[in-house]
Chains A and B, each alone.
Chain A
């Protein structure tokens, strides 16, 4: 079967360029915006993702890692009694510090305190035991590689933090904070900087004995009377909930939906105009097909297929351009992340936009009156 739709698209590809540009630009905008936002939000859950805990225990009313008002050791006393829990570690909310010579005008930073033992759970995936040992000397810190580049410091350099001079002993990957600079130090160094003074841990990390079922242990810890003051999270759930909380609570989700909607409406207008113009330019040919006896539905299908071919080509271009941009961002150390469902949602939105545009363009086909060729 002669594929008129495909041949027309290939032959008149310049005519369809505005569709590619409109779909590509709006797709790229949505993908990059979503990837940057999700990348930034995912940093909020970095302590969870980069730790090697089997369970996280926080206050019952805390809906994310950042919302804890603190939880006393007394409230979680049951953890020490559970036979499946072999190690418990406190996670303190990272306190603010200022970085730079001028304490009033310095950059904002946060101190994350690590225990220096071999089986420390917090940030263990990013900072293994060997690296952690470099923090043994008081006044030493580890920075994220991107943060260090931003601050212009390297290993061996000294950094002024809240009035104290600290020495950078190592750089790590992926331990950026969403805002400001994350400074990783030993508990001793952190205490000197004021961390933990009079405050309760925000969460507790728990490691289970090998073979124990985290879900079963979580259920056992929660299903007690009276209702406990704590809530037990699986790490994946806490990370996802923390990201979700930022995405929805910060207004970024609304901003993304609103700007995407505007981009899609503009795309709809451009694409429907372009496809409509393509239909109009071939009106005499379509009318001739109708005169020959080819059904209106068959001619509609030709036009629909043209739109779909253009849509597929535009989506492929968008995907290639998006991957390129995300790769460049990644190379430059910019946190970006595009979960598959979000990428799928962007693709579906673009496909729907082109399909609706095509339906608008198809209305013009009604003017393909074969009798008009005989006037």
Chain B
């Protein structure tokens, strides 16, 4: 399936953010503009401390910008009250964090069902969606295992399955492959690619990992709190 990547579903305009106060304040983002097309896998790269993660947190509605505006699916994200912003994230956004963040007590399918239940999906439907998503990332036979019985790559694939099962429009991924070996990195990259290409999800990925670059539609290079250049021809 081909999606119209000219339709921008997530954009940030004039985003500024500093941490600390007075003379000790550090300016992380300085009037940054970014626009992410639908159905594209976009990477944000840059040296440590350039503001990549802060940008991701602001675009995801997790950290408030000092100035600027975030439009997600036509909604001014930071004009929403916190409960409405939570509900927006629950309905429209998915997350894949660095390393795995899974509850030790829950089996793989329960990790996903938990989130789906909070979305208001009935237990039976949630179970079906969780199993479908786990099979989609090749973990169908391991759906009953708890995190301590899963490898690092498998845990990351559970997180991707969770994002997939939510059927979000936007997925935020923070260093999703950094802690994985080449084989698992390829697997995770391929799944993120498929989420964008086959499901039309806008995937934005902060990474240092060059192994992810060949899978991307575009790469935003950041420097000193701004987008330095946008690489659209990725080889």
Q: Which residues of A contact B (CB under 8 A)?
A: 1-2, 4, 7-8, 10-12, 282, 284-285, 287-296, 298, 370-371, 373-375
Contacts and interface: CB of A to CB of B under 8 A. Distances in A.
Nearest to A297: B83
A293 B105 contact: no
A11 B104 contact: yes
Contact of B206 (A290, A291, A374): A374
Contacts of B91: 293
Contacts, number: 86
A293 B62 contact: no
Nearest to A294: B118
A294 B172 CA distance: 16
Contacts of A298: 118
Given A2-B106, A294-B115, A374-B206, 14 more contacts: A1-B117, A7-B103, A284-B101, A288-B95, A290-B86, A292-B90, A292-B115, A292-B166, A294-B86, A371-B57, A373-B95, A373-B101, A374-B56, A374-B57
Contact of B53 (A11, A296, A375): A375
Nearest to A4: B114
B206 A285 contact: no
Nearest to B90: A293
Nearest to B115: A292
Nearest to B55: A374
Given A2-B114, A7-B106, A374-B57, A285 B89 contact: no
A7 B91 CA distance: 25
B154 interface: no
Interface in B63-106: 63, 83, 86-91, 93-95, 97-98, 101-106
A344 B164 CA distance: 50
B217 interface: no
A295 B83 contact: yes
B101 A371 contact: no
A371 B83 CA distance: 16
Contact of B90 (A287, A294, A296, A374): A294
B105 A7 contact: yes
Contacts of B113: 2
B80 to A, nearest CB: 12
A371 B57 CA distance: 6
9 contacts: A1-B117, A7-B103, A285-B101, A288-B95, A293-B86, A293-B88, A293-B91, A295-B83, A375-B53
